[in-house]
Structure 1
Amino acid sequence: MSIAQLSPAAIRRADLAEVAAPSSIGTPTPATAPAPRIRAVPEGTEARGFVLYVGFDEAKAAAAGTSLHRVVEALKALAEEVAPGSQTYAAVALAPEGAGGRDVDVVRLALQDPSALAKHRQATETTDDADRHPAGVIVDISRKRVLLDGDSAGLTYKEFELLQYLVLREGRTIERAELISSLWDAADEDDVPNERTIDVHVRRLRAKLGAYEDIVRTVRGVGYRFDRHADVSIRQASTPSPDRF
């Protein structure tokens, strides 16, 4: 029987048989074991749901003519539509302003995603190695410490709070009155803090900063300002602070 006499179905079967048959030229291809079945979860467990991290801040939501709350409600409605009876829980991830990085990465870290935490720990360990003999100033807000050329500056709690307040408002001159109202209260060491209190603490802070004292700049008649130099780095990690919609 010629090829022309075969039906289309027969031709397809013949093609498949030719592809499946080992070639008579060269070494025959050995038989392989069937591929293992791939599961989304390990054996002995079952999937009970999933997490979808959405990186979308309030400013972007407003620019798009929506809000985080509306996005959450739309996703919850979609889940109910495609999977009736499904349960949902939404949390908003809060991070310090100017934390940087991709929104979704900040969200994953803030909400304690295991893989994001592992990556963050690895990055931190690498950073710790670089801390051993670094040059310049490291203001580590997450660990409440200041390193000067690799050595601890030995700041007191109040001195670090003062520096941190200025660092987090980089480039803005902070009046003494604002520093007093923000960093001191009646329970503090100074019963009646005044502008002199601020000046004394700034002087002590600068003394401990040594050669890098000019990162805390005096603006005559106004207050103080943090000036970042090329040899100054700030470390600040996002903290988990979720809230429910």
Structure 2
Amino acid sequence: MITPLPVQQRPRTAPEPVRPAPASVPAPGAGRPRALPAGTEARGFALYVGFDEAKAAAAGTDLGRVVAELKRVLAELAPGAEAYASVALAPQGAGGRDVDVVRLALQEPTAAAKHRGSSAASADDADSTGVVVDISRKRLQLNGETVPLTYKEFELLQYLVLREGRTIERAELIESLWTAAGEEDVPNERTIDVHVRRLRSKLGAYEDIVRTVRGAGYRFDRHADVVIRHASGTPSPDIF
């Protein structure tokens, strides 16, 4: 007869208390502005908000309330900080992203400098950020690097750029860039979509400067980080 061995039970111990995860400690310098030029100090910041009256109303608010709430949060985070708000005005129906229209209207330094310098070539293009569409040299630069566009891709971009804010139908693009130019291989509207897709992919983070207007065509919108360099004496055909 086999006598079963007694089962040894492990002594019960109280469960270890759950220790809260240590609070993350911000890295030295976190939240500080990037390196400042020697002899300068940060005295504040500007926040550009792209949010028009129609969008505010659709969200159940208005611009005045948004400004008041931002000031309230500022007072909680930084008591004693001073604030000043300025509303950007633009013509009704102006194209472009809201925040870029605001930056240009309020003369944000970077945007204003790009806008003022858009009529002449600059030796600083290689060090610039954003997009430079150099029509005089048939060249596109992205953050100082030349983008390898095909001839037709640049022609397409130039056509839209020179008609800023106007929606261009696919049929017009075909007629102007292929048929009128005497091209033998005339594309259809689906092929135009392929050309635009390739162009936008090469624009990277700035692809939204070429807008798709559903059911209508394409449009170049104003952007605060885009510089257009026209050939001397060649203004946009749609600016009077």
* TM-score of Structure 1 vs Structure 2, range by shorter chain: 0.3 to 0.5
Higher CA-based Rg: 1
TM-score (norm 2): 0.45
Q: TM-score, normalised by structure 1?
A: 0.44
Higher helix share: 1
